[in-house]
């Protein structure tokens, strides 16, 4: 992906449709006081993609901008933290990858419930606005032991083999 494996990486995305405060989030992260790089996935939001792609080389931080992206798992694997809306697939993938998630003002309904689940289990961050973002990311960056503990906690909560487990259960029930 053209990233430095030794530099803190934030993944910013808004699902397949590229919704949410993506542009504001990417702009805010440019103000972090430490070296970092940003992966931005705009999904099918072509207007957002064009706008951010045009700025890609002028950002203060190394920022990679992608449109609809089939390798989200690879982007998650390269990241230390993710800022995203919390659809079911995103939550499942982030848990399987042990990737801490920040969500900003989640959409009422399923995404709010997903945010509350992560927050209540102390494996994610729920913010009211982008204004709180850099403080949260900086706190996470400056506490590597806490970040390690958080990832371990995510590991206890995640179910990366859930599909296979369901298959075994279904076959067992049929027999």
Residue 1 covered by a domain? no
Mean pLDDT of the chain: 91
How many domains does the chain fold into? 1
Contact between 98 and 155 under an 8 Å Cβ cutoff? The reply is yes
pLDDT of res. 134: 95
Quick one: pLDDT at residue 2? 86
DSSP for 75-120 reads HHHT-SEEEE---HHHHHHHHHTT--EEEESPPTTHHHHHHHHHHH
- Domain with 39, as residue range(s), is 8-174
Per-residue confidence (pLDDT) for residue 9, from 0 to 100: 97
CB 147 within 8 A of CB 138: no
**The predicted structure's pLDDT at residue 1:** 83
Identify whether 142 is part of a domain. yes
**Would you say residue 128 lies in a domain?**
yes
Integer Cα distance of 73 and 95 in angstroms = 11
Query: Contact 53/46 with Cβ under 8 angstroms?
Result: no
Q: Is residue 139 part of a domain?
A: yes
Question: Please, which residues bridge with residue 77 across strands?
Answer: none
Give residue-wise pLDDT tens across range 4-36.
999 999 999 998 888 889 999 999 999 999 999
Distance, CA of 47 to CA of 54 (rounded, Å): 11
Is the pLDDT at 160 greater than 80? The verdict is: no
User: What pLDDT is stored for residue 107 in this prediction?
Assistant: 85
> CA–CA separation, 75 vs 52, rounded Å?
18
Confirm whether 32 is domain-assigned. Answer: yes
Tokens 């706008």 appear where?
51
Report the CATH number that the domain containing residue 38 is assigned in CATH.
3.40.50.2000
Per residue in 61-104, pLDDT tens? 999 999 998 999 999 999 999 999 998 889 989 998 999 999 99
- 88-96 and 144-157 helices cross at what angle (nearest 10)? 110
- Counting residues of the chain whose pLDDT is more than 70, the rounded percentage is 99
Q: Counting beta carbons within 10 angstroms of the beta carbon of residue 170, is it exposed (0 to 12), middle (13 to 18) or buried (19 or more)?
A: exposed
pLDDT (0 to 100) of residue 12:
97
Token pair recorded at residue 112: 């709010």
* Residue 50 pLDDT level (bands cut at 50, 70, 90): very high
Q: Is residue 3 part of a domain?
A: no
Half-sphere exposure of 119 (CA within 13 A, CB side): 16
In a domain? residue 133: yes
Reported residue count of the chain is 175
């Amino acid at each position: 992906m053209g990233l430095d494996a030794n530099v803190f990486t934030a993944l910013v995305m808004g699902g397949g449709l590229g919704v949410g405060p993506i542009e504001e989030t990417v702009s805010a992260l440019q103000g972090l006081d430490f070296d970092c790089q940003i992966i931005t996935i705009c999904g099918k939001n072509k207007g957002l993609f064009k706008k951010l792609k045009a700025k890609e080389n002028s950002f203060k931080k190394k920022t990679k901008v992608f449109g609809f992206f089939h390798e989200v798992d690879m982007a998650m694997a390269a990241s230390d933290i993710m800022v995203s809306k919390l659809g079911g697939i995103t939550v499942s993938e982030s848990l399987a990858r042990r990737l801490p998630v920040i969500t900003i003002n989640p959409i009422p309904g399923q995404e709010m419930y997903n945010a509350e689940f992560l927050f209540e289990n102390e494996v994610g961050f729920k913010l009211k606005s982008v204004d709180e973002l850099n403080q949260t990311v900086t706190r996470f960056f400056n506490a590597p032991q806490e970040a390690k503990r958080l990832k371990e906690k995510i590991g206890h909560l995640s179910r990366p083999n859930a599909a296979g487990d369901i298959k075994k259960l279904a076959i067992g029930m049929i027999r």
